[in-house]
Amino acid sequence: MRLLPGLGLSLFMLVQGAPAAPPAANHPIIGVWQLLVADGRCAETYRFRSDGTTLVTSAREVSESEFIIPATPSAKGFYKLEDKIVKDNGKQDCSGEIMKVGTKVTNFVLFHPSGEIFLMCASESTEACIGPFERVRGEDI
């Protein structure tokens, strides 16, 4: 397993898909997560809400998206996460990229058994992942 530094939001790959029912309020993705990138010089904060939306801050960027994630992981232990950017302030993220509204992406999330960290991967493999994302306690979603 290796960290791909500085990729943050730009790692996402384009996908097709329509919004589905939001995840259960007790889904392990629900909550606030932080990813340190650029050798720890920049932080991305992901707020996964139980209504199926996210709020992401990364450097000067603030974006909102809608996401779909199944209730249970695949046989390999990964959750398929589909995401569509619905709002963005047009500023650069930690990797210097600017996300475009309407971008659809998919990644595969692998949780640590503790539920306190996860990796976000390009496929159901740990060959190309970013992370760890660490749960942030005590912050509102």
- For the stretch 79-134, pLDDT in tens is 999 999 999 999 999 999 999 999 999 999 999 999 999 999 999 999 999 999 99
22-37 confidence digits (pLDDT tens): 898 899 999 999 999 8
Q: Are 61 and 91 in contact (CB under 8 A)?
A: yes
Tell me: pLDDT of 4 over 80. no
List Cβ neighbours of 113 (8 Å cut-off, separation of 6 or more).
Answer: none
pLDDT (average), residues 68-75: 97
Phi/psi-derived region of residue 9, left when phi > 0, alpha when psi is between -120 and 50, beta in every other case: alpha
Tell me: pLDDT of 18 over 90. no
Q: Are 101 and 117 in contact (CB under 8 A)?
A: no
Tell me: pLDDT of 48 over 90. yes
Higher-confidence residue of 43 and 14: namely 43
Say what the pLDDT of residue 22 is.
86
Please give the model's pTM, rounded to 2 decimal places. 0.83
Q: How far is CA 53 from CA 4, 20, 25, 33, in A?
A: 25, 11, 12, 14
Please measure the distance between the N-terminal and C-terminal CA atoms of the chain and give it in whole angstroms. 29
pLDDT band, very low/low/confident/very high, at 11 (cuts 50, 70, 90): very low
List Cβ neighbours of 53 (8 Å cut-off, separation of 6 or more).
Answer: 64, 65, 66, 67, 86
List Cβ neighbours of 42 (8 Å cut-off, separation of 6 or more).
Answer: 36, 58, 59, 94
